[in-house]
Amino acid sequence: MAVYGVVSKLFLEMKKVLYSILLFTAVLGVLSACNNGDYNSNLSSNANGSINPLNPLKIDEFTWGGNDPMSADINGSHWVADAAYFQLDTFGRNLIIGIKGPQMMAFILNDVWSNNLYNMGYKVEKRMGMYFAGVDSTMAASGDLWGVVGGSSTANSAVVFTSYLGNSGEIKMVENDSVRIKGQFYFQAVNSSGAVMNITNGYFNVAKPY
């Protein structure tokens, strides 16, 4: 029975990783479909706490800590992922996903190295942060969260908030080797309707699969 349980867990984790690849493909489709207009200055009240994109943080100003495996303040409320996953996809992109109930935070990171600071703001596709909200909690509890969120990203773009549509964001890579990926981040996440989620004091420390 113990062996069966381990095998079942590994199968579920593999399934989640496969869904993640489909998810990111769907997200890129949403961005392409909904971002054909002019620059959004994001005047909502949630945007007031965003770092000024004309005066971004310097690498030595990322002084905050965090909770493993991933945490952040979302519009001022602290959020800690229950689980996080890493996948290096077929394009060489680092995919990092943190899950808490029906909510998810995710990153697509190209060409990121330890002890470096990268822009993650408006129309930056190579390094992008995302926050997913409003996923059906009943379906999420079934264990198929990745499928639910992937479907939501195409059927309802309002639940997808991304740094690609925001005007402020950076990620500091602390560690990225064969064992783990660790970093700090902040970004202004905006959905297709212009609603804003202000992500601050972000942190992740995710082990890589062997």
| Contact (CB, 8 A) for 94 and 112 | yes
Task: Please give the Cα distance from 21 to 15 (Å, whole number).
Answer: 10
Q: What pLDDT is attached to residue 145?
A: 45
Average pLDDT over residues 73-91: 90
- What whole-number distance in Å separates Cα of residue 87 and Cα of residue 19? 11
Residue 182 banded pLDDT, cuts 50, 70, 90: very high
HSE of 21, CA atoms in CB hemisphere, 13 A: 12
Q: How confident is the model at residue 210 (pLDDT cuts 50, 70, 90)?
A: low
pLDDT recorded at residue 174: 97
- Higher-confidence residue of 182 and 20: namely 182
Q: How far apart are CA 5 and CA 112, in angstroms?
A: 36
The residue with greater pLDDT, 88 or 1, is 88
Separation of CA 86 from chain center: 11
3-class SS letters over 60-127: HHCCCCCCCCEEEEECCEEEECCEEEEEECCCCCEEEEEEECCEEEEEEECCCCCCEEEECCCCCCCE
Rg (alpha carbons) of the chain, rounded to whole number: 16
Structure-model confidence comparison of residues 93 and 140, the more confident one: 93
* Average pLDDT over the chain, rounded to an integer: 75
CA 87, chain centre distance (Å): 13
Determine the pLDDT at residue 7. 33
The pLDDT of residue 113 is 95
Q: How many domains does the chain have?
A: 1
| Greater pLDDT, 192 or 32 | 192
| pLDDT tens for each residue of 37-81 | 443 444 444 555 666 665 788 999 999 999 999 999 999 999 999
Provide the pLDDT for residue 8. Answer: 39
Long-range contacts of 133-142 (CB under 8 A, 24+ apart): 133/102, 133/103, 133/159, 133/161, 133/197, 134/102, 134/158, 134/159, 135/102, 135/103, 135/104, 135/159, 136/102, 137/101, 137/102, 140/101, 140/102
Q: What is the pLDDT of residue 41?
A: 47
| Tens digits of residue pLDDT in 112-170 | 999 999 999 888 989 999 898 866 545 444 544 445 445 555 545 667 899 999 988 99
Burial class, 164, CB count within 10 angstroms (exposed 0-12 / middle 13-18 / buried 19+): buried
User: The whole model's pTM is what?
Assistant: 0.73
Q: Give residue 34's domain range.
A: 2-207
User: What's the pLDDT score for residue 61?
Assistant: 93
